[in-house]
Amino acid sequence: MIKRTRIILSVLLGFVLVVIGGGLSAAAAQSSWSLKMTVPMELSISTIDIDRMLKYYTEVLGLRLVADAKVGPEMSIRTGATPHGYRIVRLQTPYGERIKLVQAGRPPKQNEVPHYVCEKQGFASLTFVIADLDGVIKRLKEHGVKLLSGGEKVEVRPGVFMIYSLDPEGNIVEFVEYPDVSSYRPDLYKWHQFF
């Protein structure tokens, strides 16, 4: 389990370094030093309406609620999060990654949703690599989720299909289906971690 986690996190760290480095090649992003991570990476989303977001990520996408807590202003000031305290909800995917939904005591202003995904600076999208894109699209449509690219999956490479959607607050959520995910992520599949 620890070995699998280290492999996953090493790959994710390489991706982050490429993004931060403004297009460095994957080879250039490798270094002799790496983070000594102990669990899979977590993503935090600052929300305006945490209950609405919680419903979307649990009821529509099926993530599991693992924790729901409040942090008072004294601690949130010390950490630099917000002067108003906040509520934090932790959700988990089947593979152990976590998404944290955070709503400050004084929620932030709504960000403008770009017309195109890459027109926004910073994190562009949250990506789920999945097995049944048609089924996911059907479920999203049934729940009134806004789909980009005309609501239809797009073949971005032979046999690789994807679609962008928006969560309730306009964050971009990407779903990708590979014909052979082991060729996309041989680092994970060579040890048969997910069989």
What tokens does 37 get? 């991570």
What tens-digit pLDDT sequence spans the chain (195 residues)?
A: 555 444 444 444 444 444 445 544 555 556 788 888 888 889 999 999 999 999 999 999 999 999 999 999 999 999 999 999 999 999 999 989 999 999 999 989 988 888 889 988 888 899 999 999 999 999 999 999 999 988 899 999 999 999 999 999 999 999 999 999 888 888 887 665 554
The CATH code of domain 112-180 reads: 3.10.180.10
CATH 3.10.180.10 residue ranges in the chain? Answer: 41-109, 112-180
Q: Give 28's Cβ-side CA count (13 Å radius).
A: 8
The CATH code of domain 41-109 reads: 3.10.180.10
> Cα(176)–Cα(63) distance, rounded to whole angstroms?
17
